[in-house]
Chains A and B, each alone.
Chain A
Amino acid sequence: AQSVTQLDSHVSVSEGTPVLLRCNYSSSYSPSLFWYVQHPNKGLQLLLKYTSAATLVKGINGFEAEFKKSETSFHLTKPSAHMSDAAEYFCVVRGNTNAGKSTFGDGTTLTVKP
Chain B
Amino acid sequence: DAGVIQSPRHEVTEMGQEVTLRCKPISGHNSLFWYRQTMMRGLELLIYFNNNVPIDDSGMPEDRFSAKMPNASFSTLKIQPSEPRDSAVYFCASSSAGGGSYEQYFGPGTRLTVT
Q: Are B100 and A44 in contact (CB under 8 A)?
A: no
Q: For residues 1 through 60 of chain A, which have their beta carbon under 8 Å from a beta carbon of chain B? A: 32, 34, 36, 42-46, 49, 51
Q: Which of A65-73, A77-85, A99-107 contacts B (4 or more CB under 8 A)?
A: A99-107
Q: Are A104 and B45 in contact (CB under 8 A)?
A: yes
* Complex contacts, A49 vs chain B, CB 8 Å: 101, 103
Q: CB < 8 Å: which of A36, A42, A102, A107 contacts B102?
A: A102
Query: With A90-B43, A101-B45 known to touch, is A43 a contact of B102 (CB < 8 Å)?
Result: no
A61 interfacial contact with B, CB 8 Å: no
* Complex contacts, B48 vs chain A, CB 8 Å: 101
* Complex contacts, A107 vs chain B, CB 8 Å: 42-43
* Complex contacts, B109 vs chain A, CB 8 Å: 43
Q: How far is the CA of A104 from the CA of B63 in the complex (A)?
A: 24
Interface of A is mostly: strand
Q: Are B106 and A104 in contact (CB under 8 A)?
A: no
Number of A-B contacts (CB under 8 A): 50
* Complex contacts, B93 vs chain A, CB 8 Å: 44
Taking CB as reference atom, which chain B residue is nearest A42? B108
Size band of the A side of the interface? 20 to 34
* Complex contacts, B100 vs chain A, CB 8 Å: 32, 51, 96
Minimal beta-carbon separation of A104 from chain B (angstroms): 5
Q: Are A102 and B104 in contact (CB under 8 A)?
A: yes
B107 interfacial contact with A, CB 8 Å: yes
Q: Are A98 and B42 in contact (CB under 8 A)?
A: no
Minimal beta-carbon separation of A99 from chain B (angstroms): 6
Q: Are A98 and B97 in contact (CB under 8 A)?
A: yes
Q: Are A101 and B101 in contact (CB under 8 A)?
A: no
Q: For residues 64 through 115 of chain B, which have their beta carbon under 8 Å from a beta carbon of chain A? A: 91, 93, 97, 100-109
Q: Are A45 and B106 in contact (CB under 8 A)?
A: yes
B12 interfacial contact with A, CB 8 Å: no
* Complex contacts, B91 vs chain A, CB 8 Å: 43-44
Chain B residues engaging chain A, CB cutoff 8 angstroms: 33, 42-43, 45, 48, 50, 55-56, 91, 93, 97, 100-109
Chain A residues engaging chain B, CB cutoff 8 angstroms: 32, 34, 36, 42-46, 49, 51, 90, 92, 94, 96, 98-102, 104, 106-107
